[in-house]
Amino acid sequence: MSREHRGPGGGSGGAGSGGFASGVSDATGTTLADPQPQAELDRTVGVSMWAIVLAGGIGSRFWPLSTPERPKQVLPLVNDRPLIADTIARLSPLIPPERVLVLTSLDIEAAIHAVIPEVPGANVLAEPRPLGTAASLAWGASEIARRAGPKTVFCCLHADLAVGYPDALRFELRRAAAIASRERYLVALGAPPSRPDTAFGYIDPGPLLEFGTSLTRGGAARVGAFVEKPDAGRAAELIAGGALWNTGIYVWEAGHVLELIEEHVPEVAPGLAALQRNDPDAFGRKVRPASIERGLLERTDRLVALQTDCAWDDVGTWACLRRSRELDDDGNGAIGPAYFVDATSNVVHAENGPVVLFGVHHLLVVSLEGITFVTTLDRARELKPLLDALPGSMRLKPTRRP
């Protein structure tokens, strides 16, 4: 079932999904809209922009590769670098590692930090239990306000995303930071959809703000509605109306977002006093799980959207790897030794010797020491029924090479 919420901004938008207007160019040659001179952006954002990277959970939808010992965020699923290392690298030089906070869970803290040694240990904040992304946001925002001041602007994003054009992402983060600082808005980045994907959330834009001529020409729009995982028909309607994929990348001032959490998020607000005392244990005892979207963004009228053409994708399931990996001429993608004969649109992850696919299509094959997993890419979208049916020892810790 899909979830749709029409926010306080009201209305559905008619913004399109075209390219950027005149401005500066990114590394790909794409021209980026520049709503104000770069010098003004530099003065507005300064050198103090921070980031929060959300990196909780083991990523069970990437079983059997992802386990508590080797969670999804440390896996080289898109290229030869761990997902979280890729995420932190693409923020630099706009946001260097020493200004990145990583919010993760206690059980995978060591595995996470081992692959991002450039991030100071004090910047990895481990939750003793899953608190929900709204609470993670509050903890990170409080820490940024304490270290750098409540007017500090930061972005919040997930560790498991793919970005084709990092220069374009950094440019949009800078634009969003200027709006968040100057106008005191919460800014959500949306990506132009390339297909009616039912696994993504959508931002249905409302009225344009006074600056910018359209979402495709450097403008910002109030968010009319969030639509979470619509069916294919509804997704097509949203795209026709100018909706954007919700990238889950947000930009705001630390003090401002804490004020709005206190006002709008009763699941988290009771714990804010503990954060002011720098007591995260007490904070964890006082909060209830809530997502950033449902807990905060759907309850405020201070939310606006910007479009980013950074070739964003969510690395959420095995099937998405066909979009983010380099493919052969028949649409097959592989990590490790794999051979394809009369085979198309397959994904292979091989760590236990060569895998040969002959005369098959749209399959996923994961070959590890001690276990081989085969399914279709369609069935690989949701593995919970499979994991519920497996013995616990196989579900959590399939044997593999160290």
pLDDT in tens, 229-284: 899 999 999 999 999 999 999 999 999 999 999 999 999 999 999 999 999 999 99
| pLDDT mean across residues, the chain | 85
pLDDT at 3 over 70: no
Q: Which residue has the higher pLDDT, 155 or 24?
A: 155
Q: What is residue 213's predicted lDDT score, i.e. its pLDDT?
A: 60
Q: How confident is the model at residue 319 (pLDDT cuts 50, 70, 90)?
A: confident
Q: What is residue 394's predicted lDDT score, i.e. its pLDDT?
A: 76
Per domain, the residue ranges of the chain are 3-315, 319-396
Beta strands in 165-302 (DSSP E): 186-191, 201-208, 221-228, 244-253
Query: What does the pLDDT average to over 168-187?
Result: 93
Phi-psi domain of 10 (left: phi exceeds 0; alpha: psi -120 through 50; beta: other): left
Q: What is residue 21's predicted lDDT score, i.e. its pLDDT?
A: 29
Structure-block tokens of residue 23: 């401005």
In the chain, DSSP finds a helix count (H) and a strand count (E) of 13, 20
Query: What does the pLDDT average to over 190-219?
Result: 82
Q: What is residue 324's predicted lDDT score, i.e. its pLDDT?
A: 78
CATH annotation of 3-315: 3.90.550.10
User: Which secondary-structure segment (H or E) carries 114?
Assistant: helix 109-114
Does the N-terminal peptide bond of residue 93 adopt cis geometry, omega within 30 degrees of 0? Answer: yes
Q: What is residue 153's predicted lDDT score, i.e. its pLDDT?
A: 97
pLDDT at 37 over 60: no
Q: What is residue 309's predicted lDDT score, i.e. its pLDDT?
A: 93
Q: Which of 212, 210, 207, 202 is nearest to 234 (CA)?
A: 202
Instruction: Tell me the per-residue pLDDT of 68-117, one tens digit each, with 9 for 90 and over.
Output: 888 999 998 888 899 999 999 999 999 999 999 999 999 999 999 999 99
**Start-end of H helices in 195-344:** 232-240, 254-264, 272-276, 280-286, 292-295, 321-324
**Exposure class string for 387-398: b at 16+ Cβ within 10 A, else e:** eeeeeeeebbeb
Q: What is residue 391's predicted lDDT score, i.e. its pLDDT?
A: 83
- Length of the chain equals 402
Q: How confident is the model at residue 212 (pLDDT cuts 50, 70, 90)?
A: low
**Start-end of H helices in 9-53:** 38-45
Q: Which of 382, 389, 347 is nearest to 366 (CA)?
A: 347
Q: What is residue 57's predicted lDDT score, i.e. its pLDDT?
A: 84
